[in-house]
Structure 1
Amino acid sequence: MGEDPKGPRTAYRDLFRLHGRRTLVLGAGSGIGREAAHGLAAHGAEVVCADLDGDAAASTANAIGAGAEPYEIDLLEPGAAEQMASRYAETHAVVITAATNVRKRLADYTRDEFDRVLTLNLGATFEVIRAFGPRMEHNGGGSIIAFSSIRASTVEPGQGPYAASKAGLVQLLRTAAAEFGHAGVRANAIAPGVVETPLTAQIKSSPEWYQAYAAKSALGRWARPAEMVGAVVYLASDASSFVTGAVLAVDGGWTAVDGRFEPPAS
């Protein structure tokens, strides 16, 4: 007897369902993190909205309503990630969006500025992975999602330490995929192009700079934070059950297109 055709179709409809699963979003107070929290909740997840700014975290959680709660955290405080993971040990997915940047040429960078960028972008992510990875391993599965960048593979003047931190982030996640994968724990990176967030305010303030970045994208524009949500939900859900150690580019074709010159067809 053949397989009931309604069975697979029903299962496929549930691929993106997150009902009954707790997700934790770091950086949920604004930008990509805030939209990710809303998107995960829209697919049924219980969402912990974590942020350095407790009021912003509460604002996101209140806007989501039932099933969301705020959590104030300074990821640079020793033991903060471990304390958070202990409180939310039964967590299905962790989304890491917190990051910072100092745009300067290498010769102008101070060691303090270098340490500030690497400590948050790479060091804090290491602490989160180290705190949640073993707990997900014990629970029999989970998803760790962190935001890298196109700068992990393409650079420009003034982006050195930031680019290095985002490239290192990819390798941390791949290592987590290798070490925790036997228990069904997946670890993946999302690599956006230019997104209109507080982190890119310096670029947005310069019309020439803003337009140059827009022109570099194959789509000819910047991304909105909401356009990162699909990738987050995908990687948090069963739709990506065999995806780990991957880097998902959500960059409008930035890294696929070599410049914007269009040579004649013949």
Structure 2
Amino acid sequence: MDYSKLFRMDDRKTFVLGSGSGIGRESALALAAQGAVVVCADRDLAGATQTAQLIEAAGGLASVYQLDVLDAEAISVAAQEHSDSETLVFTAATNVRKRLLDYSAEEYERVVSLNMRSSFDLIRAFGATMVERKRGSIIGFSSIRHLVVEPGQGVYAATKAATVQLLRTAAAEFGPSGVRANAIAPGVVETPLTAPIKANPEWYNAYAAKGALGRWAVPSELAGAVVFLASDAASYVTGTVLYVDGGWTAVDGRFDPPRG
């Protein structure tokens, strides 16, 4: 084993959906830095193009692909056009923070369609080509909300739990063909999705205090987990959830008992 190349992704094609900004962009940049040939996919073509330009400016290889994850047929076409992808990373998500009794049917459908149905479609489409080639790694972003919840996060949490179970099932079904599937569960990360929380100092500080590290994450702090799960360093890792939450799910309450 040449451990100096354990995390290298040289010449491996990686399809990163959601690469137009935030965690997806940082994931694409990190994978490219390890030698991967990255397809920067996003509904936001301008954002994906900017990410590809950043990769190329650093000496990496990248292309751009516009894809709306709400279009199941478009996902199928993308998987066929990029059937040589060895890694799929998907980060797209939305949230409507409302209590269950206040949710409308339209809001429910919007969150479920983007967060859960797209995960199902992506895993199936890209998983089929990976199973056929007998290798690949699927990495989907869940959330700590798949495990712990709070008022106003019910539907979002349900979709993130579903994403975990879809990936675990993919791990079981695709594993005999050499395909791995794993979930990453971030804690609180400074992204456009969490902007409403950051705008409220009390809310922002309460979330920062919940984790063991006492602060929020920035998107680049999720990139290492993506590289690990995509690389040969994780060749025997499948069907798991990797928590990158600053200790949020390890800490039970915030009272600090007196010493002595």
Alignment deviations for residues 184-217 of structure 1 (CA, whole Å, 9 cap, x no partner) = 1000000000000000000000011000000001
* Matched residue, 1:13: 4
Unaligned runs of 5+ in 2: none
User: Counterparts in 2 of 1:13-162, with a 5 A limit?
Assistant: 13-65=4-56, 66-162=60-156
Residue of structure 2 equivalent to 1:252: 246
Q: Percent identity?
A: 63
Distance 1:81 1:37 in 2: 19
User: What is the TM-score of this pair, normalised by structure 1?
Assistant: 0.95
Cα RMSD for the two superposed structures: 0.7
Alpha-carbon contact 2:72-2:121 (below 8 Å) kept: no
1:265 Cα deviation (Å)?
Answer: 2.8
* In 2: Cα distance, 1:242 partner to 1:118 partner: 31
How far the C-alpha of 1:241 sits from its partner, in A, is 0.3
SS at match of 1:210: helix
Q: Which consecutive unaligned segments of at least 5 residues does structure 1 have?
A: 1-7
Query: What is the CA–CA distance in structure 2 between the aligned matches of 1:257 and 1:157, rounded to whole Å?
Result: 19
The Cα shift of 1:67 comes to 1.0
**Residue equivalent to 2:175:** 181
Structure-2 separation of matches of 1:257 and 1:13: 35
Give, in angstroms, the shift of residue 38 of structure 1.
Answer: 0.2
Q: What SS does the aligned partner of 2:139 have?
A: strand
1:5 corresponds in structure 2 to none
User: Aligned to 2:137, what secondary structure does the other structure show?
Assistant: strand
How many residues were matched structurally? 257
- SS at 1:79 equivalent: helix
2-side partners of 1:23 and 1:191: how far apart?
20
Give how far 1:13 is off. 1.3
**How far is 1:78 from its partner?**
3.3
- Which structure's CA Rg is the greater one? 1
CA–CA distance in structure 1, aligned partners of residues 69 and 215 of structure 2: 32
Separation in structure 2 between the aligned mates of residue 77 and residue 258 of structure 1, nearest angstrom: 40
Q: Deviations over 1:125-180 (max 9, x none)?
A: 10011101111011111000000000000000000000000001000000000000
- Cα deviation, residue 259, structure 1: 1.4
Contact preservation (8 Å) 2:15, 2:38: yes
